[in-house]
Amino acid sequence: MYAILDIETTGGNYDEEGITEIAIYRYDGIQIIDQFCSLINPQKAIQPFVVKLTGINENMLRNAPKFYEVAKRIVEITEDCVLVAHNAAFDYRILQTEFRRLGFSFERKTICTVNLSQVLLPEQPAFSLGKLIRNLGIPFSDQHRAHGDAKATLKLFELLLEKDSEKKIIKEHTQSLEPNKTPSRFLKIIDKLPSEMGVYYIHNQEHEIIYIGKSNNVKKRVLSHLTGKQKKAVALQNEVAEVTYSLTGGELVTLLKEQNEIKAVAPTYNHSMKFRMFPMGIRLLYDSPYPKLILEQIKKEHNYLSVYKNKKAAKAAVFRWMDQFGICMQKTSLMHSEQACFNSTIGKCDGACTGKEMPEDYIKKVEALIESMTYPYPDFLFIEKGRKNGEKAFIYVANEQLMGYGYFELNHQIKSTTKLQSRLIPIQDNPDTKKLINSFISRKKYLKLIPLQKT
């Protein structure tokens, strides 16, 4: 027995959506034997783009039943059924969330017609419900309404049942999905978390921080830890006692805060980032008339032009610089021979490797490279969005060193060094922070970049 399902929601943050319409057709493999279709009052605002997409607005839902009033009917019509939906993980998660809010569990096996179509109809160019139905010539009305989409899913499922002549694939794709099946002991932890950008801290029974993470949706990310099957997720589930968080607002502030606190606290389960986000570096060696670029694992005693995730990324940067600035391959640690570099043989190198190019001319190219790696100003503020309306975040760089970050609502609050310092949360400057800041500046991912005059 199958329950063909489609749900329309309010949209919004993950795990905070509400149902606006639901349609369920109980189907025995031959015919519909029961059905339930209803608008639902979600008791929360509908996102404007959803209103435009579905045509469902708040006036239509004012007198509609609330979910708790139809929950028993949903349980009855899906009893002993496999739920069938197009993108089943979404519809099933929404149902589970609504039942969880009522204090009940809701568990059914599921079949996703997206996955099933990809196996049984591999020749199709697209697998969204609308495109799939049209390409198959199946009549489709009331798209983006629950009753219309559920009827279309039913017609598609009938075709898929016919295609699966041996009935093996349908069985293989029947899953016990648990996209929102959170162990009851974690529910209080999850419910207290925001669906906003921030840094979160997972604590054990001794109140020690065992993991620090970041996300643009803290609730969703922590939920993935507490329901995941990966080795680290299971380890965290065995130890977690509490999760705290700090809202951050801007993406760069979030990244800087996370890497700084991981280095400072060194949590048990943040293995790699305890040390460096970017462990490979490129530095300049001035031991001959021609400066040489050295690729190596970061060493504390050296300063680096830039840092990278791995050797492959660092090598790619050198090849870009060869094209952009005329860097000679022989004047890098990638080449160990004193012979002319390959680019010289094809006329793409000016001859630093053969002595044809004078050292002072080559040094100018290296200086241009260095200039491209430096901040646009020695002292400046990087401005991005804050944690709430009317607030902005700033990142403060002085003498080309990261000083920290902070928040302000009015411009006069950051007009002097004294006022900046009073709002500043210090962050340790290191090659990782410079890499992050330069990356955001190069992509212009900021509201403002304000140069500061020395006082």
398 assigned to some structural domain? yes
- What per-residue confidence (pLDDT) applies to 183? 64
Same domain, 114 and 84: yes
Helix (H, G, I), strand (E, B) or coil at 158: helix
Q: Report the distance separating Cα 436 and Cα 445, nearest Å.
A: 11
Of 373, 389, 419, which residue constitutes the final position of a domain? 373
17 assigned to some structural domain? yes
Please state the three-class secondary structure of 421-443 as a single string.
HHHCEECCCCHHHHHHHHHHHHC
Same domain, 26 and 164: yes
- What per-residue confidence (pLDDT) applies to 142? 84
Same domain, 53 and 156: yes
Helix (H, G, I), strand (E, B) or coil at 209: strand
Of 353, 373, 393, which residue constitutes the final position of a domain? 373
178 assigned to some structural domain? no
Q: Report the distance separating Cα 220 and Cα 121, nearest Å.
A: 33
Same domain, 246 and 288: no
Q: Report the distance separating Cα 43 and Cα 63, nearest Å.
A: 11
What are the residues whose beta carbons fall under 8 Å from the beta carbon of 451, sequence distance 6 or more? 376, 377, 379, 380
CB contact burial 171-183 (16+ within 10 A = b; e otherwise): eebbbebebbebe
* Domain containing residue 251: 184-274
Residue 266 C-beta-side C-alpha neighbours within 13 Å: 1
Of 341, 373, 405, which residue constitutes the final position of a domain? 373
- What per-residue confidence (pLDDT) applies to 105? 83
Cβ 19 vs Cβ 39: under 8 Å: no
Q: DSSP assignment, residue 83?
A: E
- What per-residue confidence (pLDDT) applies to 166? 64
Kindly give the confidence (pLDDT) of every residue in the chain, 455 residues in length, as a single tens digit, with 9 standing for 90 and above: 899 999 999 998 877 889 999 999 999 888 899 999 999 999 999 999 999 999 999 999 999 999 999 999 999 999 999 999 999 989 999 999 899 888 888 889 899 999 889 988 999 999 999 999 888 888 888 888 999 999 999 999 988 888 876 666 677 667 555 555 556 678 788 888 888 999 999 999 998 999 999 999 999 899 889 888 889 999 999 999 999 999 999 999 999 999 999 988 899 999 766 667 788 999 999 999 999 999 999 888 888 999 998 999 999 999 999 999 999 999 999 998 888 998 888 888 999 999 999 999 999 999 999 999 899 999 999 999 999 899 999 999 999 999 999 999 988 888 888 888 889 999 999 889 999 999 999 999 999 999 998 65
179 assigned to some structural domain? no
Domain count, the chain: 4
- What per-residue confidence (pLDDT) applies to 178? 54
Same domain, 162 and 27: yes
